[in-house]
Structure 1
Amino acid sequence: MYEIYPKSILKGLLFKRQQSRCLSMSTQLIPQSPILLRAYCDEDWSVVCDIHDRARPHELTGSCDANSFLPLAEDPEDIDNFHRSEKFVACIQGQVVGFVGIDENLVSWLYVDPDYFGIGIGRELLQLGLELAGSQAWTVVLSGNTRARRLYASEGFQVVHTFEGSNAGYPCTCLELSFKPNHIKLPQEQTQFYAA
């Protein structure tokens, strides 16, 4: 069995692990239900796969052919990358609604259940991921994934490299983003300009 930690407790646990930094956590509430963060456990696999598989089409829209979609459980390379990452899940009322993965400094995974888009879960997970990845954090997003681009920009990430890639054999344009901790974070309404 696993324990679910309110952010205040999780903050203390992470502080013990990384005493040089402390988390800046702001509690997001969904109608009287706090977002709770906890470490991923093997029992979460099917739920995480479902979240990935339902959110992935949103990620691909405007970036890559819809036929490039592969369910997480059917993609051996993604499975290896997933298991290599240190993972945490976000829960609301005991239900897993999103997850983040970190592979050294790489924010390797960040997915939220589409039913919970736009209420701060991705931001909470990203902020936790930044604490784990540190000031050298980076990630890769599809160029047309404006929702992700806005989120990362609002947390201090900047585009450092654009490159052509492929997803299941279909071409796509990718952006490498790097965290700039001294970069002034833009208010969310201003990040829409940079994500377009």
Structure 2
Amino acid sequence: MTGKVVIRRATGPDAAATADVYLRSFTAALPTVTRPRSDDEVRDYIRDVVIPHRETWVAESVAEGRVVGLMVLNADLLSQLYLDPGWRGRGLGDRFVALAKDRAPGGLHLWTFQVNKPAHRFYERHGFVAEEYTDGSGNEEKEPDVRYVWRP
């Protein structure tokens, strides 16, 4: 799990590997959060909606020839950022956030779950500020969340 990592736009053939990274990351980072979709539904959604209709980026380990991270932007919404658990703490998240800021220079916002304290620290380190807390009634997981905003 070392070596060069290329960040590039996702394409159709990346869908299965991208979904697998999402599923592994979600399970590792959010063990107490119930996912509203089955693994197969997640795979279908990433293949049929996310990659073809969202600005989806993947981090690919050149040495391993596999996807190890993903980021999805929807205009100024950073809607997803997930890393393979073995690749956390290696600077990939930093690279994804820098790319997101370049792609949305006017500012960004995102949602993360209140229980995800490592994500809070990560985004705050990158200049995001918590601006709204909810009881989770507005998300599929029904899990309390927080909206973070970055303004240049």
Give the structure-1-normalised TM-score.
0.66
User: How far apart, CA to CA, are the structure 1 residues paired with 2:151 and 2:93?
Assistant: 19
Map of 2:18 onto structure 1: 48
Quote the residue 2:41 is aligned against: 74
Q: Quick one: distance in 2 between partners of 1:61 and 1:74?
A: 19
**Whose radius of gyration is greater, 1 or 2?**
1
User: Aligned with 2:82: secondary structure?
Assistant: strand
Unpaired segments of 5 or more residues in structure 2? Answer: none
Q: Structure 2: how far apart are the matches of 1:42 and 1:142?
A: 29
Q: 1:76 to 1:164 in 2, by over 3 A?
A: farther
The question of 1:57 aligning with 2:27 is answered yes
Tell me which of 17, 37, 60 is aligned to 2:7.
Answer: 37
Shift in Å, 1:114: 0.9
Query: Letter of the aligned partner of 1:82 in structure 2?
Result: V
Higher RCO (C-alpha 8 Å, min separation 6): 2
Aligned residues: 147
Cα root mean square deviation, aligned: 2.4
2:61 to 92, 103, 106: 92
Q: Structure 1 CA distance, aligned partners of 2:56 and 2:38? A: 19
- Contact preservation (8 Å) 2:101, 2:107: no
Tell me by how many angstroms 1:77 deviates: 10
Deviation at 1:78?
Answer: 5.4
What CA distance in whole angstroms lies between the structure 2 residues aligned with 1:39 and 1:172? 30
Q: Percent of counterpart pairs with the same letter?
A: 24
Q: TM-score, normalised by structure 2?
A: 0.83
The gaps in structure 1 that reach 5 residues or longer are 1-29, 182-196
**In the alignment, what sits opposite 1:147?**
118
